[in-house]
């Protein structure tokens, strides 16, 4: 009887949360585009009153949307707008350790603010650029479900320099992931398979939104070169099933490259319901992919960035992951500073 009363009470509480959140969202969007406050539409960070109004508005809508998603079960954890982890900051750049299941930015910055750019604005509003739609310039992208390091530029010139560094391969990104299955060898696995869009995705299939396939797939459209390396680090169990913690290195930055390449070699990423779709993936609280290290050499700005994020795939942070044996030591792959300082092009084959 008590269990039934408890269940009914939780259901009523969730229903109340949904009503409050939906009312808040309607209030925030009241009036449509034509009547939105001019201080928000013509925002200038130099105007202190406009900046205060913008921050209050974003906090209000953030909590309404987060409350809604938390109440209907779309999020397991309530993410605060001030929950921002800054790993590195200079006059030109800021490196953020992004939370998982959080978009980098959204199409509507004022009325759909559940994104990283909102968190950065609330913490660094004095560095916002009014000429940039999202207030800051993102030098690269990582997926909504992926956590880890992402580089933002404070100015247009810094963003241009970073873009050239990416083109000239002076930026190296290393990822950690937990993949299904065990590897037969301790040696790294090289995956050199071009990636293209799925034709069904181009046709507008909702289930295959942003779905990529390798060039050998019959539905592959416009494949482009993609090179990745997979290095087994630890062998163990995740939720009682065989899994391996791996280090992922990529030479090209195609959409979903690491997710597609690990899947095509028979070791999809744990929790990746798009490319794995195993029953066990739907029981995972997140996709186990993390941007672990970011290194960049920017000679024109006399700046070298070398950031390392905290490893989230340890038993202390995730009790579902139980490592059993070490296959390779990550310390072997740490010595990349020498290449950065020497001025050589930083590529995967230098490791």
Report residue 304: phi and psi, to 5°. Answer: -125, 125
Measured over the CA atoms of residue 217, residue 208, residue 145 and residue 223, the dihedral's sign is positive
143 labelled catalytic: yes
> Taking a C-beta distance cutoff of 8 angstroms, is the pair 254, 234 a contact?
no
Which residues make Cβ contacts (< 8 Å) with residue 299, sequence separation at least 6? 343
Q: Which long-range contacts (CB under 8 A, 24 or more apart) does 337-341 make?
A: 337/295, 337/306, 340/170, 340/295, 340/297, 340/304, 340/306, 341/304
Distance, CA of 100 to CA of 228 (rounded, Å): 22
DSSP for 146-210? -EEEEEEESSHHHHHHHHHHHHTT-EEEEEEEEEES--S-SS-EEEE--EEEEHHHHTT-GGGTT
Q: Which of 82, 91, 101, 143 is an active site residue?
A: 143
Distance, CA of 244 to CA of 270 (rounded, Å): 10
Q: Of 81, 84, 85, 52, which is closest to residue 66 (Cα–Cα)?
A: 81
Distance, CA of 155 to CA of 92 (rounded, Å): 7
User: Two tokens at 291?
Assistant: 């941007």
Burial class (CB in 10 A: 0-12, 13-18, 19+), 125: middle
Active site residues: 143
């Amino acid at each position: 009887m008590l269990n039934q009363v408890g269940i009914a009470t939780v259901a009523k509480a969730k229903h109340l949360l949904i009503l409050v959140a939906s009312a808040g969202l309607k209030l925030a969007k009241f009036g449509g585009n034509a009547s939105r406050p001019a201080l928000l539409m013509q925002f200038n960070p130099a105007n202190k009153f406009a900046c205060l109004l913008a921050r209050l508005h974003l906090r209000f809508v953030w909590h309404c949307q987060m409350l809604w998603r938390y109440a209907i079960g779309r999020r397991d954890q309530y993410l605060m707008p001030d929950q921002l982890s800054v790993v590195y900051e200079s006059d030109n750049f800021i490196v953020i350790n992004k939370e998982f299941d959080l978009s980098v930015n959204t199409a509507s910055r004022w009325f759909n603010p559940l994104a990283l750019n909102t968190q950065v604005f609330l913490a660094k509003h004095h560095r916002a650029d009014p000429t940039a739609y999202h207030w800051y310039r993102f030098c690269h992208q990582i997926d909504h479900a992926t956590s880890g390091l992402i580089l933002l530029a404070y100015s247009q010139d810094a963003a241009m320099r970073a873009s050239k560094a990416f083109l000239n391969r002076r930026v190296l990104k290393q990822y950690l992931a937990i993949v299904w299955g065990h590897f037969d060898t301790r040696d790294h696995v090289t995956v050199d398979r071009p990636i293209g869009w799925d034709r069904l995705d181009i046709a507008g299939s909702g289930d295959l939104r942003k779905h990529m396939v390798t060039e050998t797939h019959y539905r592959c459209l416009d494949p482009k070169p993609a090179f990745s390396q997979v290095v087994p680090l630890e062998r163990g169990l995740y939720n009682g099933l065989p899994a391996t913690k791996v280090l992922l290195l990529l030479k090209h930055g195609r959409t979903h490259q690491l997710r597609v390449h690990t899947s095509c070699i028979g070791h999809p990423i744990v929790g990746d319901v798009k490319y794995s779709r195993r029953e066990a993936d739907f029981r995972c609280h997140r996709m186990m992919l993390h941007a672990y290290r970011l290194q960049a050499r920017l000679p024109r700005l006399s700046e070298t960035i070398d950031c390392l994020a905290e490893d989230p795939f340890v038993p202390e942070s995730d009790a579902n992951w139980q490592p059993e044996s070490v296959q390779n030591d990550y310390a072997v792959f740490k010595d990349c500073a020498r290449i950065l300082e020497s001025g050589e092009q930083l590529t995967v084959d230098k490791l």
